[in-house]
Structure 1
Amino acid sequence: MTEQTNILDHIIHLSPPGELDESVRHFRDLGFNVLPGGTHADGLTYNALVVLKSGVYIELISFVHPVEHYPAGSDDRARREGHWWAQKHPGWIDFSFLGVPGVGDIINKRASNEGLGALYRPGKEGGRIRPDGVQLKWVVTFPHGHGLLPAPFFCEDITPRENRVPSQGAEHPSGAFDVGEVTLLVDKNELPTVTRKLANTLGVEPLADQTDSDRVEFAISSPEGAGGVLVLKVGDTTSLPTGTFIDSVTFLTKNSDAGARGEKRTPYGKLTHKAI
């Protein structure tokens, strides 16, 4: 049986250090119910969650302190500078698919069969403690060259996923219930290579009958919903902060109010509500 590796888990929106509360306010103003998250096990980041009925969620995350807070030469300074998101700028910075045991080996085997070499590194354990004291544990698996090409990481739960992604709070004033589209910008000359790598990563081929040569779509699933598409779109990647490829996120909504639809913005990222 082929393991499914195209189930969208969550998308990450970064705030400036110590400014998570500001992002929470912005997302609430955009029609989302935001739940408290907690501090991650490394003590460097903390988060809040926007959970959708589909089981996908948006992770609003911030570093607790800027790099300068930690004494030069200290272990804490080294950990902060070496964090995988240390060089990211605020906005949509990363996205994760739901992991399965040995997901890196599964993807690397697919890629090896096409002569692509190893795409993913070994998994690393992580976790956080919820405000109610419940401890969460997971394994994250990152791609080689993380941040150099548009590729997701994977999150595999050790503790029950429902502890990490609560089902309550999934009703939103905007009517959002799933992610319909995640759009990644890519340079035109990199589109063929990125397409092949993503096909191996997700375990699915691009959707057929696509007439735009500058756009490639992959069908993705949701944990509890129908899912949407992951889009590679040729565009000016210099318009995005270095190491970031997510141009926009489209939320599916059942709200027919015209004011709830269309393009919206946080101070750092673009999103769209699409009524269906």
Structure 2
Amino acid sequence: MSPTLDHIIILLPYASLVNPPSWLTENFTITPGGKHGDGKTENKLICFRDGTYIELIAFINDDPKKRLGHWWDKEFGIVDFSFAHSDGDATVHFSELEERLKSLDWGDGSIEVAYEEPQTGARMRPDEQEIKWQVTFPVVTTGYQRGELPFFTHDITPRSLRVPFSEESVTHPSSALGVKSLSNFIQASKSSALAKGYSAILDMPNLATEEDSQKLGIFEVQGAKEIEGGHKAKIYLKAPNEPQLEQMERRGGSMLGDLILGVSAVSGASKYPKRIDVSGGGIGGVLLDLC
């Protein structure tokens, strides 16, 4: 069974996590999170009806020492995303993933995609409930970066503890139901490897065609919960234009682009799509659009 889309990570300044800005509070119901076991980061969640969520994360007190060497030592914005499996165990899924990746033909000189063995993580909720999981991260020493490739989250404690879905938590002022799409901009030198690598990672076909000139990959994924209308999300691998290349170079050669959240049909549909985060133009924004 193909994995489901689990969550997308947005890195914020610590002050914006403690007191979220109006673009977040006016559009979303924010659910308490907690501090991670390494004592470096803290989070809050935005949960959606499709079973996905946004993880708002920050380095505690914006301490540079906590950032040093951390995989999310990046510019503020969308920095990473995760998939999950609804059954089985992390070790089994890792073995199956490793087998799919090793079966690919990397003979064109592409850098092979690989993943590390699962490792355990944890955080403490404000109610002192400890939550545990295992994560399977991509190998970054091969030339890839976190965010270029997704990671996997495997729950040890029940997912309902890590992601406390309720009618209240998934009801938002913006009427957002879940993730509609996430764009990932890919360097030309890595496009061939990542296009076929993602098919193996997600165990699903690449839906991009020759007519999709800028889209190197299109992968249609399900959230953890099915909602009315058969809502699914699309992960896009895209070729950047010149301005986007400049931004990618500034960010170390990789960049997650716009996160588009689907909203239910409401009056005033002509105003969609609309960008809601405060940064305005450019790439890597949060937008609302009709499902």
Q: Give the TM-score of the pair, scaled to structure 2.
A: 0.82
Q: Distance in 2 between matches of 1:36 and 1:109?
A: 38
Tell me how far 1:221 sits from its aligned partner.
1.1
262-271 vs 124-133, which deviates more?
Answer: 262-271
Name the SS for the 1:201 alignment partner: helix
Q: Is the 8 A contact 2:8 2:80 kept in 1?
A: yes
Q: Distance in 1 between matches of 2:80 and 2:145?
A: 8
The alignment status of 1:223 with 2:250, answered yes or no, reads no
The alignment status of 1:254 with 2:252, answered yes or no, reads no
In the other structure, the counterpart of 1:270 is 285
The alignment status of 1:242 with 2:237, answered yes or no, reads no
Name the SS for the 2:97 alignment partner: helix
Q: Is the 8 A contact 1:24 1:34 kept in 2?
A: no
Q: Is the 8 A contact 1:199 1:205 kept in 2?
A: yes
Name the SS for the 1:195 alignment partner: helix
Q: Distance in 2 between matches of 1:263 and 1:32?
A: 15
Q: Is the 8 A contact 1:125 1:140 kept in 2?
A: yes
Tell me how far 1:13 sits from its aligned partner.
0.3
Q: Distance in 1 between matches of 2:210 and 2:18?
A: 41
Q: Is the 8 A contact 2:132 2:155 kept in 1?
A: yes
1:245 counterpart letter in structure 2: M
1:273 counterpart letter in structure 2: L
In the other structure, the counterpart of 2:16 is 19
C-alpha distance after superposition, 1:109-139 (max 9, x if no partner): 1011114456101111111111111110000
2:62 counterpart letter in structure 1: P
Q: Is the 8 A contact 2:71 2:146 kept in 1?
A: no
Name the SS for the 1:172 alignment partner: coil
Out of 121, 128, 131, the residue aligned to residue 123 of structure 2 is: 128
1:131 counterpart letter in structure 2: P
Q: CA RMSD in A?
A: 2.2
C-alpha distance after superposition, 1:215-251 (max 9, x if no partner): 0211111100342210011112432451552111111
Q: Distance in 1 between matches of 2:259 and 2:210?
A: 20
Out of 55, 59, 72, the residue aligned to residue 55 of structure 2 is: 59
Q: Distance in 2 between matches of 1:20 and 1:149?
A: 21
Gaps of 5+ in 2: 107-111
Q: Is the 8 A contact 1:183 1:232 kept in 2?
A: yes
Aligned residues between the structures: 262
Q: Is the 8 A contact 1:97 1:152 kept in 2?
A: yes
